[in-house]
Structure 1
Amino acid sequence: MSDTWPPKRKSSATGWIRALLLLVLLGALVDPKLPSGGRTVYLLDLSPSAREEALRLASRLSGVVLGFAEEVRRLSPGERPFLGERTRVDRAFQEALPYRPDRVVLISDGLFEPVVPPFPLFALYVQPRPFLEVRLVPPAFPLLGETVGVGVRLFAPVEVEGRVLLEGPAGTRAYRLRVEGERRLLYTFPLTEAAQVKAVAEGGWGRSEDRVELRPQDQVRALVLGDEALAALLRAQGFSVEEGPFRLPLEADLVVVGLGVLDLPEGAARALKDYLEAGGGVLFTAQAVFGGWDRALPEHLPLKPKKAEGAAVVLILDTSGSMRGEKLALAVEGALRLVEAASAEDRLGVIAFSSEARWVFRPRPMTPQGKKEAESLLRSLGAGGGTVLGPAYREAVLALSELPGRRAILVLSDGEVSDPKEPILEEARRAGFPTSTLALGQDADKAFLKALAEAGGGAYLEVLEARLLPRLLLAEGERVFREEGKRGRFPVRPLSHPLTEGFSFPPVGVRFPARAEPWAEVLLLSQGDPLLALGERGEGRVAALATELSLWRFEEVGGFVGGLARYLSARRTLRVEVQGNRVLVQGRLEAPRLLAAGVEQPLLPVGQDRYEGVLEGEGVILDGKRRIPVRTLASEYPPLDGRKVLAQMAEESGGRLLAPSELGALPKVQSSLREPLLWLALFLFLLERFVHYRLGV
């Protein structure tokens, strides 16, 4: 025998195996398909809307049959289990995967959101049973005393007629309705204590009911400064209202300012600015908007006064010898504040009097340049001489007589007037514009100054402490410079905003001319001028109103003001919003959690003071000692076209919608041969190794 014969035999035996192996691997790479019956898994929708139709078809099925609703179970012949009231097709798909199906046949009414199948899906649409489902949607954060609305949502996959009863604190309401798809109702009532609302829908198709319990949460706290009408409206809307005085710290959720800046203590402007920027809500009413806040908080007021024409004021300032030192310094400071308070449309002049009278500067517009010059001239004043008022007063009357519009004289003195007084009083009576007087200190000629104010139709003020002089002098100037409200019937035009939707606004009886800041959003207009504007400053929200609420009464004013106040205070109070099965919470929270079915999960931060969680059904938001009930709306009868849902899912997976006649003779599927070919390749590889080993021994 030749020594070369065994190697030749070995090479021949293994060569054809290796060639066949390479051929099989090439085939697996190409992945050929072979039409076949394949492995089929049937999914039966046993939720209430499709249950009866799906079970009627179950007898025609053979093989693996899974029933599903909220739970999934493999069915035995004739079994009719209850698997819940919701349709969880995603769970059914997951349970079908271990059976490694070549295709899945889904028998359902398609009343669920589409889910992308992980396998070829063939769907058989069954008509949902006629039914009218009722679900109640309570307000997420009801407040004590608030007029709340419980949403009533009706779902019917096919047109049905039914009788709907609503029962609660507002009494019983009955409706007879025809519904197809979705329809909504609203049940409203004042929430003065814990309350329960029940809804029942009945018809030939059966009965559906739902109920919710409302427990009022903490009231929104409002501090109202100087606006009794608005305080009354907020109380009627369920707010916890405190009316003044202004004190620190500001702990309310909302501050309503109905007073001028000079009517509040020193430091109020700074405190309001800090409160607003830290997340508080502030509402300025008309008397505040036009009360000097445009200068005290120039960057935080959404509306500013707009003047058609300015006012003219002459300050007659005592600079006699008794005014030396602190008195004159404080008088000059007061005059400087008066300069600051004037707008570009206003005119201001100052006459200094002692033994004689002299103009410090004649009435001039208080433009930026005019204010700069006035400040320089006032700081140059000195004191000395007697107290002769007459010539100065006559100069002031003469200068103002030549000017149009609103005019006034302010007289400041600390001593006894030495010249004849009756001519001055007579001049004041004939002037045609008011004269106000300020008596500074105990030695002032109080009797005469009071008589001069009465003769001139102005105000008389006693300033016993010199340190109060700048503030009181400014207050008098503000009173003259302030634009008067226009009276009449002024139509109101709302602009598009959630706060104005659904309201009909009648004309206002008084409005103050105003202009909106560039950063503000205008909500109401009247004759082209803004009537209400709001905006954000720092972390807080601020609004300003250019009319008097006490003179603007209409049926819906309470609801409108309440909505505006809640919007402004939202940064400091808790707000809950439900979107599908998502729960969104906004507010300053410590470590909020969501408790549902005995399980706690943290609410995840999704923005500044915003948190989000997922909930199916009912649960409770936990934050410290607060417990806030919340529920998401899950319906077995959503307003969907089930046939389209099934067709979409089938097409996206490579399947299609089946006709009922095709259920017993399913179309062939293209089964992949890749897996069998890979197993064959493995076998050939092992065989080649075995032959090589045996022949090589």
Structure 2
Amino acid sequence: MGRVPVLRGFILFLLLLAALDPRLPLPGRVVYLLDFSPSARESVFALGESLPRGARYVAFAERAVLLPSPTARRLDLGERTDLRAAFQEALRLRPSRVVLVSDGLFSPVPPPFPLDALYVPPKAHVDLRLVPPPYPFLGETVGVGVVLEAPRPAEARLRVEGPAGPLERRLRVEGRRVLTYAFPLTGEAEVRAVAEGSWGRSEAKARLLPADRARALVLGDPALARYLEAQGFLVEEAFRRPLEADLVAVGLGVLDLPPGAPEALRDYLRRGGGLLFTATPKGLFFGGWDRALPEDLPLKPLGRKGAALVLVLDVSGSMEGEKLAMAVAGALELVRSAAPEDYLGVVLFSSSPRVLFPPRPMTAQGKKEAESLLLSLRAGGGTVLGGAFREALRLLQDVPVERKALLVLSDGIIFDPKEPILALAATAGVEVSALALGPDADAAFLEALAQRGGGRFYRAATPKELPRLFLKEGQEVFQGEGLEGRFPVEALSHPLTEGFAFPPLSVLLPARAEPWAQVVLKSGDRALLALGERGEGRVAALATDLSRSWKGWEGAAPFLGGLARYLAGGQRGLALYAYPEGEGVRAVVLGRLEAPQVLVGGKEVPLVPTGPLRYEAVLREEGVLLSGKLRLPLALPLPGEWTPRDGEGNLKALAEGSGGRLLTLEELPRRATASLPLRPYLLALALLLFLLERFLEGRRRPSEVF
């Protein structure tokens, strides 16, 4: 009957022992993973005799195989390094300890077991790749990237052959070097490259297929037109409606284009078109676009001093009806086109003078009040100019601007003496212009008034011409100023500026960027090139005259072509950019796309929208861009077998992150110990004894009853 307490005590002893988790030492298995990729295999082959015998050996590159000995060699495992295949093969061998022998030139993959590592130096080699532009236009000057990579410094002789003729260089490659082989793409083209040295020979080739040519309407900027033609654009230089080009470039002023052109350009931009404004002598601020399209122009004049203009308007009885209505419409155009630093006033004359409002800054509130007063005008009385003319000059005396001007409008004969008025115009120090409306106007006197006053004389045959002529005079008075000299250019971070070294400018219009626009180029605190998106389209403004700046700079045509294609991207173009990021590439696609994806290895990777008409994805392999019916192969500058890395640091981080360490040759393990966990066996034995105890207790109880 004493066996049950003994069993119970032994069970408790087994449970206590299991809690201590004892282990039985056994002989273990060492597995060596030998890197047979092109960059490491020569060093690993040379190390074969020094590796311990008695272990298991797995060779790997893109595939992994079991080796019979450490001196066995395999050259058929691929040209890249894939740690996953090596780890899977090692797991199949149930190792007690794993040692990775490699140069560390690979993308890190967390091991599923503790890993030790031994670093071997990579082979001296220069790898060569060609990266063509992903979406070249026919006729565009394209650049094929010639990428040389060397994990160790090496000398190389490079020869590139293609449509632009041979390019030969002797160079030293340390890490990565990138050159550009540029040529006009006039049809299907092929580029071949060879790099040679004491380390051996590398070859690469790329084939380019041009896309359709883009269309550009260039108005008033012949220099830009020639640059875009060199980039393969079909260029037209005559304004016509409807606007059907992929890009419209404007170097003319508002008044140099047909009536309604600003509205047509605004609608074109909102529908997805691309607009570019350039600072020719008639364009940008000189052309009044900052006033005609104030909400759509990304640049505004900087440091403008402002000007003052007083309209001296005839409101005699003969002006009643359409004449006065169109004069008011012209005055309203001036109000809308004036900047906050400009002053505008109106003095009326008929039988007597009346100040409608004195010169005031054209702020938002000032414009609102001026418009309200102008809309209240009525006609009546005679045509007496002298008093109103003198009053207008008096009002201008205290206005704090340097440039001051008067514009006199009349449709009839002036009744008061004319010579005093002419003499006053010649000596007042104010720019006086005049506008004769209709056949009954005193044109001879008004022309003489403009000549004496140093201004401009206009004729309007019909009242409908008044708004345009008023705006023309406002453009003359309120225009900005350009600077001449030598202005250094600073490029800000943007895909358009990558790879360009911009020379100084000869001409610069002082400008600032609107809050919604992105500055791409600047000179000091002045914005040179700014761009943005309005509606579904893209707009840019360039504050220099291309006929005088960048003459002789080889990068002008490629840069302006890239800018034009970017702006046209909202309409029909497509721009692709790739930036190395970690072990992959961040692909940025600009253009109108339909749910774009990249097909990589049979899987669809969505491109994430990161802005209007902008999509991004991080890719680790080349693939095909899919968007609607578009299928575009992507050639990306992905890290390769020879991409320079800190191989030793890479191995150390991988080993220590898994619980192992970086070893020296003397520390390589020849054998390993394994341990057999005894806890499961102890628990199983305790369970059996417990069941035996319960059985013995069951037998004892019936015998006690009798």
2:66 counterpart (48, 68, 74):
74
Gaps spanning 5+ residues in structure 2: where?
A: 700-706
Structure 1: how far apart are the matches of 2:157 and 2:368?
Answer: 77
Q: Secondary structure at the match of 2:547?
A: helix
Q: Secondary structure at the match of 2:587?
A: strand
Letter of the structure 2 residue corresponding to residue 506 of structure 1? P
| Residue equivalent to 1:298 | 294
Q: Is the 8 Å Cα contact of residues 188 and 209 (structure 2) preserved in structure 1?
A: yes
Q: Is the 8 Å Cα contact of residues 151 and 645 (structure 2) preserved in structure 1?
A: yes
TM-score normalized by the length of structure 1: 0.83
1:316 counterpart = 2:312:
yes
Structure 1: how far apart are the matches of 2:586 and 2:336?
Answer: 51
| Residue equivalent to 1:505 | 503
Q: Is the 8 Å Cα contact of residues 285 and 480 (structure 2) preserved in structure 1?
A: no
| Residue equivalent to 2:683 | 681
| Residue equivalent to 1:635 | 640
Query: Compared with structure 1, are the counterparts of its residues 563 and 383 closer, same or farther at alpha carbon in structure 2 (3 Å cutoff)?
Result: same
1:624 counterpart = 2:628:
yes
State the Cα distance separating 1:364 from its structure 2 match.
2.6
| Residue equivalent to 2:577 | 577
1:194 counterpart = 2:188:
yes
State the Cα distance separating 1:310 from its structure 2 match.
4.1
Q: Is the 8 Å Cα contact of residues 156 and 181 (structure 1) preserved in structure 2?
A: yes
Q: How does 1:165-314 map to 2 (within 5 A)?
A: 165-245=159-239, 247-248=241-242, 252=246, 254-264=247-257, 269=262, 272=265, 281-286=274-279, 287-306=283-302, 309-314=305-310
| Residue equivalent to 2:380 | 384
Structure 2: how far apart are the matches of 1:602 and 1:500?
Answer: 26
Query: Compared with structure 1, are the counterparts of its residues 400 and 131 closer, same or farther at alpha carbon in structure 2 (3 Å cutoff)?
Result: closer
1:154 counterpart = 2:151:
no
Structure 1: how far apart are the matches of 2:595 and 2:491?
Answer: 39
Q: Deviations over 1:233-292 (max 9, x none)?
A: 23323444443526456662x443333445556665566556656765543323223443
Letter of the structure 2 residue corresponding to residue 614 of structure 1? L
How many residue pairs were aligned? 678
| Residue equivalent to 1:51 | 41
1:653 counterpart = 2:651:
no
1:592 counterpart = 2:587:
no
Structure 2: how far apart are the matches of 1:56 and 1:380?
Answer: 98
Q: Is the 8 Å Cα contact of residues 439 and 463 (structure 1) preserved in structure 2?
A: yes
State the Cα distance separating 1:636 from its structure 2 match.
1.9
Structure 1: how far apart are the matches of 2:597 and 2:343?
Answer: 62
Query: Compared with structure 1, are the counterparts of its residues 682 and 547 closer, same or farther at alpha carbon in structure 2 (3 Å cutoff)?
Result: same
Q: Is the 8 Å Cα contact of residues 276 and 541 (structure 2) preserved in structure 1?
A: yes
| Residue equivalent to 2:490 | 494
Structure 1: how far apart are the matches of 2:115 and 2:25?
Answer: 16
Q: Deviations over 1:186-206 (max 9, x none)?
A: 323233322222222223433
Query: Compared with structure 1, are the counterparts of its residues 177 and 463 closer, same or farther at alpha carbon in structure 2 (3 Å cutoff)?
Result: closer
TM-score normalized by the length of structure 2: 0.82
Letter of the structure 2 residue corresponding to residue 558 of structure 1? A
1:332 counterpart (312, 328, 337):
328
State the Cα distance separating 1:314 from its structure 2 match.
3.9
Letter of the structure 1 residue corresponding to residue 226 of structure 2? A
Q: Deviations over 1:119-146 (max 9, x none)?
A: 1222233343333222223333333333
2:610 counterpart (607, 624, 632):
607
| Residue equivalent to 2:703 | none
Deviation larger for 649-658 or 564-573: 564-573
Query: Compared with structure 1, are the counterparts of its residues 14 and 441 closer, same or farther at alpha carbon in structure 2 (3 Å cutoff)?
Result: farther
Q: Is the 8 Å Cα contact of residues 29 and 56 (structure 2) preserved in structure 1?
A: no
| Residue equivalent to 1:358 | 353
Structure 2: how far apart are the matches of 1:341 and 1:282?
Answer: 20
Structure 2: how far apart are the matches of 1:519 and 1:143?
Answer: 30
Q: How does 1:406-421 map to 2 (within 5 A)?
A: 406-415=403-412
Structure 2: how far apart are the matches of 1:679 and 1:574?
Answer: 68
Structure 1: how far apart are the matches of 2:74 and 2:440?
Answer: 104
Query: Compared with structure 1, are the counterparts of its residues 133 and 310 closer, same or farther at alpha carbon in structure 2 (3 Å cutoff)?
Result: closer
| Residue equivalent to 2:546 | 549
Q: Deviations over 1:134-167 (max 9, x none)?
A: 2223333333333333222323334444432222
Query: Compared with structure 1, are the counterparts of its residues 53 and 248 closer, same or farther at alpha carbon in structure 2 (3 Å cutoff)?
Result: same
Q: Secondary structure at the match of 2:20?
A: helix
Structure 2: how far apart are the matches of 1:687 and 1:401?
Answer: 117
| Residue equivalent to 1:144 | 138
Q: Deviations over 1:2-51 (max 9, x none)?
A: xxx5xx54x257425523441343133xxx56665423222222212233
1:122 counterpart = 2:125:
no
State the Cα distance separating 1:62 from its structure 2 match.
3.8
Q: Secondary structure at the match of 1:19?
A: helix
Query: Compared with structure 1, are the counterparts of its residues 75 and 213 closer, same or farther at alpha carbon in structure 2 (3 Å cutoff)?
Result: same
Q: Deviations over 1:462-521 (max 9, x none)?
A: 4444344334323322222223445x4253453654539753433424x44444445555
Query: Compared with structure 1, are the counterparts of its residues 185 and 402 closer, same or farther at alpha carbon in structure 2 (3 Å cutoff)?
Result: closer
Structure 1: how far apart are the matches of 2:562 and 2:96?
Answer: 57
Q: Is the 8 Å Cα contact of residues 516 and 522 (structure 1) preserved in structure 2?
A: yes
Structure 1: how far apart are the matches of 2:694 and 2:369?
Answer: 112
Q: Is the 8 Å Cα contact of residues 410 and 435 (structure 1) preserved in structure 2?
A: yes
Letter of the structure 2 residue corresponding to residue 682 of structure 1? A
Query: Compared with structure 1, are the counterparts of its residues 502 and 34 closer, same or farther at alpha carbon in structure 2 (3 Å cutoff)?
Result: farther
Structure 2: how far apart are the matches of 1:525 and 1:655?
Answer: 52
Q: Is the 8 Å Cα contact of residues 598 and 604 (structure 2) preserved in structure 1?
A: yes
Q: Deviations over 1:517-550 (max 9, x none)?
A: 4555556666865444445656765443333222
Deviation larger for 258-267 or 319-328: 258-267
Q: Is the 8 Å Cα contact of residues 500 and 523 (structure 1) preserved in structure 2?
A: no
State the Cα distance separating 1:569 from its structure 2 match.
4.9
Structure 2: how far apart are the matches of 1:84 and 1:470?
Answer: 76
Q: Is the 8 Å Cα contact of residues 131 and 144 (structure 2) preserved in structure 1?
A: yes
State the Cα distance separating 1:88 from its structure 2 match.
0.5
1:65 counterpart = 2:64:
no
Structure 2: how far apart are the matches of 1:379 and 1:127?
Answer: 85
Q: Secondary structure at the match of 1:549?
A: coil
State the Cα distance separating 1:453 from its structure 2 match.
5.5
Q: Secondary structure at the match of 1:631?
A: coil
